[in-house]
Amino acid sequence: MIIKSKIKGLIVPTFTPLDSRGELKLEMIDRYARYLVSIGVDGVFICGTTGEGLLLSVEERQKILEAWMLHSNNLTVIVHISSTSYKDSIRLASHAKTIGVDAIACMGPCYFPPNGVSELVEFNKRIAYSAPEIPYYYYHIPSVSRVDLPMVQFLSKVEDEIPNFCGIKFTSKNLVDFQECIRLENYKFDILNGNDEYFLNGMLYGVEGSIGTSFNFIPQLYLDIKEAFENNDIKGALDYQARAIDFVKLMLKYENAIVSSKAIFKIMGLDLGPCRLPLRNLTDVENRSLEADLKVLGFFNSISTC
Residues acting as catalytic residues: 139, 169
> Which residues are CB-contacts of 40 (< 8 A; sequence separation ≥ 6)?
10, 219, 220, 223
Give the Å distances, CA to CA, from 124 to 14, 107, 111, 240, 252: 23, 8, 15, 37, 31
Handedness of CA 175, 181, 186, 188 (dihedral sign): negative
Helices (H), the chain: 28-38, 58-69, 86-99, 117-128, 142-145, 151-158, 175-187, 199-205, 219-230, 234-253, 257-268, 284-297
Give the Å distances, CA to CA, from 27 to 14, 31, 59, 75, 267: 15, 8, 16, 18, 19
Alpha-carbon distance 235 to 232, whole Å?
9
